[in-house]
Amino acid sequence: MRRNSLIVFAIAVAALLAGCDTTVLQKNDASLSSLVITDSTGTTLTLSPAFSSTTISYTATASSSATSLTVKATPTYSGATVTYEGATDASTGSYTIYSDSTTINVVVTAANTTATTTGAPQQTYTVIVSSS
């Protein structure tokens, strides 16, 4: 995964140096620039490992008194779309917390849905949230 990101970066730098338009590369980007989860007590959860656009699996712990989670995911390319799978309210990224664990799947779809740097139009980031 990291190798693909480095290749895309190298191509983008070469294109910029050559005076080429990099919009096509950006439209193929199905990554996130940030992923923030807040529980109903107002606490921002700490992701483990720390967020990186090239890491797609995380864990986090919510307060035992929290009843819901709100997810805010920002795509790297503003033309990409974000979908919150399994959310109570998919338009806002709201999830109900379950006693054992809650799985959050954030799907990023590139603006150009024909191909991305990883060969697929989508990238799924998964966070498993447990209660403390």
Specify the higher pLDDT residue, 90 or 113. 90
Closest CA to 116 of 34, 24, 51: 24
What's the pLDDT score for residue 29? 86
**Mean pLDDT of all residues in the chain?**
82
pLDDT, tens only, 53-70: 999 999 999 999 999 999
pLDDT greater than 70 at residue 24: no
What's the pLDDT score for residue 98? 82
CATH architecture of 2-131: Sandwich (2.60)
pLDDT greater than 50 at residue 116: no
Give the domain ranges of the chain: 2-131
The strands making up 81-85's β-sheet, listed across from edge to edge, are 57-62, 122-131, 101-109, 81-85
Q: What is the pTM of this model?
A: 0.75
What's the pLDDT score for residue 74? 95
Q: How far apart are CA 75 and CA 53, in angstroms?
A: 9
What are the C-alpha distances in Å from 67 to residues 15, 28, 44, 76, 81?
Answer: 48, 36, 14, 30, 27
